[in-house]
Structure 1
Amino acid sequence: MAISPDVTEPVVTPPVRTPRQQSAFGALLLRLHFYAGLLVAPFLLVAATTGILYAFAPQIERAVYSTELTVANPGTAALPLAEQVAAARAANPSGDLLSVRPGHDDTTTQVDFSDPALDADHQHTVYVDPFTGTVTGRLTTWWTATPLTEWLDNLHANLHLGDTGALYSELAASWLWVIALGGVLLWWRRLRGNRTARRLLAPDLSAKKGVRRTRGWHAATGMWLTAGLLFLSATGLTWSTHAGENFSAFIDSLGAGRPSVSTDLTGAAAASTGGAHHGGMAMGGSDAAAVDPAAITTVYRSARDAGLTGPVSISVPADANTAWSVTGNDSLWPVGRDSVAVDANGTIVERIDFADWPLLAKLTQWGIYAHMGNLFGLANQIVLAALALGLICVIIWGYRMWWQRRPTRADRRALAGAPPARGSWWTGLPAWTIAAGLPALFALGWFLPLFGIPLLAFLVLDFLIGTFRRRPATPVSPAPAGS
């Protein structure tokens, strides 16, 4: 049958793909992740770099202060501790005897003395070879830490800018967990419908060079680092200025603070809690000179007989009505933090073992030691360094994506990419989300002030800018006729 020449085949046009609409929550999350990463990343970059240096402080310290800290030829039997203290006193005639850390293995004995010219956090430490009684050096220390460790600690904590500089590290710790979790959620949402372990955890190497490949490395590396970054954020906040105070108050309200033995020999005082982050060591008072330092040999022997092994710190009592205290200083796993109070005759008057600490106190102590790279020795330090290097790479890739998204056309050229679209998060979020989320955000912002204040500022400014830009221009009345 002939086909009419007027009949033509219908033209099939492919369907037009409309871009997936970003939800109000997605728009807010993406915009918050972008601005938080852009503005907080420099602080994280500094914290990561200085953190690597601080993690390896023990090795650096032993190299710089090898004469003071280590014994070249360890003997088989140490001199009585009282003789070692006497040798330190001869090298440092002034000041009260505060505390003693007996040499252990190939380390020297460290004897601390006060000095009215120093602040309460500093003292003079004399180093003594425990096998010969030879003084190997003297340093002005900070909570028993050498000047180098103090310098590295302050570099990481406050950039040597004091209380003002401490805000940098708290800001970084307060936002690190937000950026990390936000990145996980964004990557999870982007891969919806095609989520596999490989796509979540490995970059797409088949992607062409450009923002897509950079995003793959940025996101996949971030996924691997998330658990470690959350740990660093949480543990770093425990001794920050503002959040740390709130954390300590919360722990104390639960009765889960770090316990310490009572050294009162009159029976009038109860066991106290607390202690400094860098050791929590009680120092002798101005009347410590009235205490016979020769008793330290008996005290030390009694503590060893009571089962305290490894490195210990002995605090000198302030007067005859106060007991000596001996506390384990082993930060390696398992942690040795048992402590005893001992009178001058060597009698144990009170004991608190680390096993009896409240669980939250143990977790806090473990977290601090792990954050500082002490808990598992070299393995701990390597993990911290890997986390810091990974974070540095993620930050660099984030800034690279920002640069790769820049307009390159001659009429629209720019130095960097535009921020994500604002969307309508302030009107598109469900009412239940706002009702449940706002109280939670206010509570979290109060507990973490350097998270809450910047977040509130961002939300208010973003809302005002969005409202202002959506507002139609005010019409201008025409000029009167004849003007």
Structure 2
Amino acid sequence: MSTTTSAAPVESAVPGASLYRAIWRWHFFAGLLVVPFMLNLAITGSLYLFKDEINDSVFAYRNGVVTSRQALAPEKLAEIATAAAPGSAVTSYKDPATPERSAIVTVSGDAGSTLVFINPYSGKVLDTVGSTEEFNYVVKRIHSLALFGGFPNKLTEIAGGFAMVLVVTGIYLWWPRRQTGGVVTVRGTPARRVFWRDLHAVTGAFAGVLIFFLAITGMPWSGYWGSNVQAWLGSHDLGYPTQLWDDVPKSQKVTEDILPVVGWTVEQAPVPLSDIVVAQSNRPTGLNKAVEVAKSAGLTPGFDIALPSDEAGVYSAAIYPDDLSKERMIHIDQYSGKPLVDISYGQYPIFGKAIEWGINVHQGQEFGRVNQFLMFATCLAIVLSCVTGIVMWWKRRPSGRVGVPPPPPQRSVYIGLWTIAVVFALAFPLTGLAILVMIAVDRAIIRTIPPLRRAFA
């Protein structure tokens, strides 16, 4: 992602100068709007990439245990958790991922939802923390700005779309045009603007594809685009295999309502109901049996299991590990112990698989350390692009003015740009709408009101 260093008169003599200026102007406005959001995404994203390392170091006191004798039964751990939070009821249990990990029981009461970390051998409560106050959960919510409400979350969605615009326009601006430097090398020293221009351009050129990938694979989590794509895939049997639910009664709840961690593809999948006829002649099997069924079915250690909330509810067990092939979710009848719905990554339709794969790579999980550090390097590249863009703009801007790149000499170039904006709006409505508003404000307000025209010149 870059801007130009040439003076306006020279640019206007070059063929295609109008298009270059228009794209440069778009790139500038998009960057001006998106920098705070991109910095937030990159910084919080970097933290989330190392969530396991943070849990194993900063929060080792509640996540790590020393193995000793036989572990306590899940139901016993659930009793300990409710005793630690009087007046609460167990909503989910997290099976320890390794013998050296604590068990985590989620309980809910008048005070809200609480995570209780328990040594599975001694039964000692290691820590209690509100579900919405857990460090990595807070980081993730700040990452999307969902912590601050629906509107800020939609701004992040717009920023993700603008990130794609910045990459595409930045590559166009970086593309070699007679210059001998600033393509793969950085000229000058930090005291000169050309140094920051080249560093910005070269960083964007090398990391652009990865930045674009992070932006587009982050879109499924967005409030508007993600939920609409999810609904469309579901209605066309392209998300999760709906036929697996054909022979079981379904509740009004969806999977994301009950499980603490759930895959994007099955978030809106309905939760089955237990067989009430069987309930008349059988007592509930209990958490111990449900955990045993989940393990026997092949769920790898570390899975979450949600408990039934009423007489018709089910036990829902799910695991979403780094290895996508082991991704699994099972709903278990609370009376018979029979799996009602059993779904794995291999059963997803092609679009569901593609999106889950993209999310896994986005989170640095698919290719081990290589994936993790590649995504971390991309986050650093985003920070560097933002910083160099700000410094470059500050060194270029005229005193007392914003220093917006000049408008294109040929006004007809905007016909093509408006067409591109409309097409983008169809693919990413909120970002496309923001682009249309940006062009309209530029054309109808900034350039027609003399004080604004001077301020933005």
Q: 1:263 to 1:110 in 2, by over 3 A?
A: farther
Q: Is contact 2:25–2:405 with CA below 8 Å preserved after alignment?
A: yes
Partner amino acid for 1:419?
Answer: V
Higher deviation after alignment, 37-46 or 208-217: 208-217
Pairing 1:89–2:82 present = yes
- Structure 1 position 451 matched with structure 2 position 442: no
Alignment of 1:253-268 (within 5 A): 253-258=235-240, 267-268=248-249
Is the alpha carbon distance of 1:179 and 1:134 closer, same or farther for their aligned partners in structure 2, counting shifts above 3 Å?
A: same
Measure the CA separation in 2 of the matches of 1:235 and 1:56.
18
Q: In 2, are the aligned partners of 1:261 and 1:272 still within 8 Å (CA)?
A: no
Deviations 1:95-119 (A, max 9, x none): 332111112211111122221443x
TM score, norm. by length of structure 2: 0.79
The CA distance in 2 between the partners of 1:250 and 1:203, in whole Å, is: 45
Query: How many residues are treated as equivalent by the alignment?
Result: 425
- Kept after mapping to 2: 8 A contact 1:246/1:447: no
1:341-352 aligned within 5 A: 341-343=331-333, 344-352=335-343
Amino acid at match of 1:158: L
What are the within-5 Å matches in structure 2 for residues 31-430 of structure 1?
31-71=25-65, 73-75=66-68, 77-105=70-98, 106-118=100-112, 123-142=113-132, 147-158=134-145, 160-188=147-175, 191-192=176-177, 202-205=184-187, 210-258=192-240, 267-269=248-250, 275=256, 279-280=261-262, 295-330=286-321, 332-343=322-333, 344-406=335-397, 414=399, 418-428=403-413
In the TM superposition, what is the alpha-carbon distance from 1:217 to its structure 2 partner? 1.5
Contact 1:141–1:147 (CA<8 Å) still a contact in 2? yes
Distance 1:33 1:233 in 2: 16
Mean CA deviation greater in 205-214 or 297-306: 205-214
Larger deviation, residues 199-208 vs 84-93: 199-208
Quick check: 1:74–1:131 contact (8 Å CA) kept in 2? yes
1:123-162 C-alpha deviation (Å, 9 max, x unpaired):
12222222233332322213xxx52223322332228532
Partner Cα separation in structure 2 for residue 390 and residue 230 of structure 1: 12
* 1:306-329 superposed Cα distances (whole Å, 9 cap, x missing partner): 222232111212345444222223
What is the CA distance between 1:283 and its match in structure 2? Answer: 9.6
CA distance in 1, matches of 2:272, 2:103: 18
| Paired residue type of 1:59 | E
Tell me the amino acid that sits aligned with residue 82 of structure 2: R
* Alignment deviations for residues 457-477 of structure 1 (CA, whole Å, 9 cap, x no partner): 22223333697599xxxxxxx
- Displacement of 1:33 in angstroms is 0.8
After TM superposition, the score normalised by the length of structure 1 is: 0.75
Q: CA deviation at 1:176?
A: 0.5
In structure 1, stretches of 5+ residues that fail to align are 1-15, 408-413, 471-483
Change (3 A) 1:263 1:451: closer
CA contact (8 A) 2:30 2:166 kept: yes
Structure 1: distance between partners of 2:248 and 2:146: 45
Relative to structure 1, the CA distance from residue 323 to residue 418 in structure 2 (aligned partners, 3 Å threshold; closer, same or farther) is closer
Name the aligned partner's letter for residue 185 of structure 2: P
Structure number, greater radius of gyration: 1
TM-superposed CA distance for 1:193, in Å, is: 6.0
Instruction: Give, in angstroms, the shift of residue 216 of structure 1.
Output: 1.8
Per-residue displacement from partner, 1:363-411 (whole Å, max 9, x unpaired)? 222333333344445444432332122112122222222233346xxxx
Letter in 2 for 1:134: K
Larger deviation, residues 248-257 vs 415-424: 415-424
Separation (CA, whole Å) in 1 of partners of 2:26 and 2:354: 31
The CA distance in 1 between the partners of 2:127 and 2:243, in whole Å, is 32
Q: CA RMSD in A?
A: 3.8
**Amino acid in the other structure paired with 2:129:** L
Q: Percent identity?
A: 24
After TM superposition, the structure 1 stretch with the greater mean CA deviation from structure 2, 179-188 or 383-392, is 383-392
Deviates more, 1:210-219 or 1:104-113: 210-219
Asked whether the equivalents of residues 342 and 350 of structure 1 are also in contact (C-alpha less than 8 Å), the reply is: yes
Contact 1:98 1:283 in 2 (8 A): no
1:276-330, Cα deviation, whole Å (9 max, x unpaired): 7961389999xxxx99776222222222222222321112123454442222232
